């Protein structure tokens, strides 16, 4: 595939639908064979309710599909999360259902929606896995893994048991042949700083020190960690009424907003925190909770945790140390694979916005690895149908490909390597890296491998 210019898809980057993704990542040959997710079920684990008509509008009106009007089943966990609203994150659930169901239009979808609590999160996974109805399960919610480690100064002391409970459930899912995928996060290599904002010299907020860190549940070894890329092509920004700035992305790269620094400079806002480009990008790095996965042994590019990662509260004098992460820990590396996720080259989301009593239907534009996790679930449902059985956790086969052959070359390579960009700490390069994992999927070729 020629990566020297913008993708030749029906819609430009930033206004993508799954039709564009299908063409760019080679899903279309499966549809040509009549593969559409028939007799397969996708599970969505989420912490917010949604408006089902938004999904049907996306499938029927935007994509022009004819889908089963009864394809969605909603399972309320622990009483459910309440009514849809912007404040609860309903757009997250909306895009999860739209993306997965758009890629596998004949698959059924079960939405396991729970209140936004640690226990309910565990219970939602328990329902999805113990019920064993869903062939592929996606989750776009997560938090810094150290929030779930008992005994740290910034954690819930009861949540270490939740982490172990989820790990046991994910192992059960792998044994049952269920495919799991979770968003790797959208704060680049600094997942902790999504909550613990770094110092901002413009506003004067002292903030917290940046800490290289990763997201859970993506960090669990029995979960596929879904990373993100930026699509190639020019991005043009209006600086003044008469001045524009064009930033050209020559090839698909790891999503990290450091490439927007010229834009910040042009608008007179050079500080990356104040400009909003740090921390931002595809999640990735090394877990300090889970040991390196057995399927990652001997894979070139696997790293240990970084030294000197100390979370300091700089609002006190002297700064208060909240947490010191272990150095050189041989931990699980993530992400595993990636797809387009940068909001600047992202997707549209038909969405019913609910703020208090105000209800308004909108077409949003967005991105994030939250798109990639459900896309992988939809893709997996297609591969399940093609293989006439569950392909299971994709990690095993993907890393086996990396160890036993070159997955980037030959007549039908199942992966495409991403060698440029980074997530504001780790840089993409040949083979595995902590910015894009093993690269991006060529779906038809990967399906042929499973079949």
Q: What is the pLDDT of residues 8-46, one digit of tens each?
A: 999 999 999 999 999 999 999 999 999 999 999 999 999
**What's the pLDDT at 159?**
64
Give the chain's mean pLDDT. 94
| 230 vs 227: CA distance, rounded Å | 11
- pLDDT tens for each residue of 75-128: 999 999 999 999 999 999 999 999 999 999 999 999 999 999 999 999 999 999
Residue 11: inside a domain? no
**What's the pLDDT at 270?**
93
Where residue 1 falls among pLDDT bands split at 50, 70, 90?
Answer: very low
Structure tokens at 83: 């009514």
Residue 430: inside a domain? yes
**What's the pLDDT at 293?**
94
- pLDDT tens for each residue of 229-262: 999 999 999 999 999 999 999 999 999 999 999 9
**What's the pLDDT at 6?**
80
Tell me which of 74 and 163 has the higher pLDDT.
74
CATH number at residue 350: 3.40.50.200
**What's the pLDDT at 72?**
98
Residue 8: inside a domain? no
Residue 267: inside a domain? yes
Where residue 5 falls among pLDDT bands split at 50, 70, 90?
Answer: low
Q: What is the pTM of this model?
A: 0.96
Residue 13: inside a domain? no
Q: Which domain holds residue 397?
A: 18-450
**What's the pLDDT at 114?**
98
Where residue 406 falls among pLDDT bands split at 50, 70, 90?
Answer: confident
Q: Report the share of the chain in percent with pLDDT over 90.
A: 91
Number of domains into which the chain is organized: 1
Residue in 350, 372, 378 with CA at minimum distance from that of residue 108: 378
Residue 384: inside a domain? yes
**What's the pLDDT at 156?**
45
**What's the pLDDT at 404?**
87
Average pLDDT over residues 141-163: 68
pLDDT of 170 above 80 = yes
Where residue 199 falls among pLDDT bands split at 50, 70, 90?
Answer: confident
Average pLDDT over residues 349-374: 98
**What's the pLDDT at 201?**
78
Residue 4: inside a domain? no
Residue 6: inside a domain? no
């Amino acid at each position: 595939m020629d990566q020297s210019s913008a993708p030749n898809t029906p819609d430009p980057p930033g206004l993508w639908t799954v039709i564009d993704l299908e063409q760019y990542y080679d899903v279309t040959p499966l549809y040509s064979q009549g593969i559409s997710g028939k007799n397969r079920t996708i599970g969505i684990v989420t912490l917010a309710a949604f408006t089902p008509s938004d999904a049907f509008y996306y499938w029927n009106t935007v994509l022009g599909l004819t889908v089963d009007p009864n394809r969605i089943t909603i399972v309320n966990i622990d009483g459910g999360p309440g009514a849809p609203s912007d404040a609860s994150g309903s757009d997250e659930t909306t895009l999860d259902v739209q993306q997965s169901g758009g890629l596998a239009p004949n698959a059924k979808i079960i939405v396991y929606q729970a209140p936004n609590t640690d226990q309910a999160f565990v219970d939602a996974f328990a329902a999805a896995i113990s019920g064993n109805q869903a062939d592929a399960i996606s989750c776009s919610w997560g938090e810094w893994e150290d929030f779930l480690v008992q005994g740290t100064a910034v954690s819930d002391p009861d949540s270490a048991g939740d982490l172990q409970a989820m790990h046991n459930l994910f192992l059960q899912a792998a044994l049952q042949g269920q495919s799991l995928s979770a968003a790797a996060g959208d704060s680049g290599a600094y997942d902790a700083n999504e909550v613990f904002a770094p110092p901002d010299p413009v506003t004067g907020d002292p903030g917290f020190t940046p800490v290289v860190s990763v997201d859970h549940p993506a960090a669990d070894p029995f979960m596929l960690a879904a990373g993100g890329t930026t699509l190639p092509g020019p991005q043009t920004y209006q600086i003044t009424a008469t001045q524009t700035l064009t930033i050209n992305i020559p090839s698909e790269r790891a999503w990290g907003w450091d490439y927007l620094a010229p834009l910040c400079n042009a608008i007179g806002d050079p500080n990356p925190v104040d400009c909003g480009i740090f921390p931002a990008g595809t999640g990735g790095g090394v877990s300090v909770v889970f040991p390196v996965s057995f399927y990652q042994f001997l894979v070139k590019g696997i790293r240990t945790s970084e030294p000197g990662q100390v979370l300091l509260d700089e609002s006190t004098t002297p700064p208060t140390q909240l947490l010191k992460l272990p150095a050189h820990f041989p931990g699980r590396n993530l992400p595993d694979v990636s797809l387009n996720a940068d909001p600047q080259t992202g997707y549209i989301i038909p969405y019913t916005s609910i703020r208090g009593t105000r209800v308004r239907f909108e077409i949003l534009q967005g991105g994030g690895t939250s798109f990639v996790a459900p896309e992988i679930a939809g893709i997996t449902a297609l591969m399940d149908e093609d293989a006439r059985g569950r392909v299971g956790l994709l990690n095993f086969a993907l890393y086996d490909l990396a160890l036993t052959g070159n997955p980037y070359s030959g007549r039908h390579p199942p992966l495409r390597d991403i060698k440029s960009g980074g997530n504001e700490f780790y840089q993409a390069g040949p083979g595995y890296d902590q910015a894009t994992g093993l690269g991006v999927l060529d779906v038809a070729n990967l399906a042929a491998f499973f079949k």
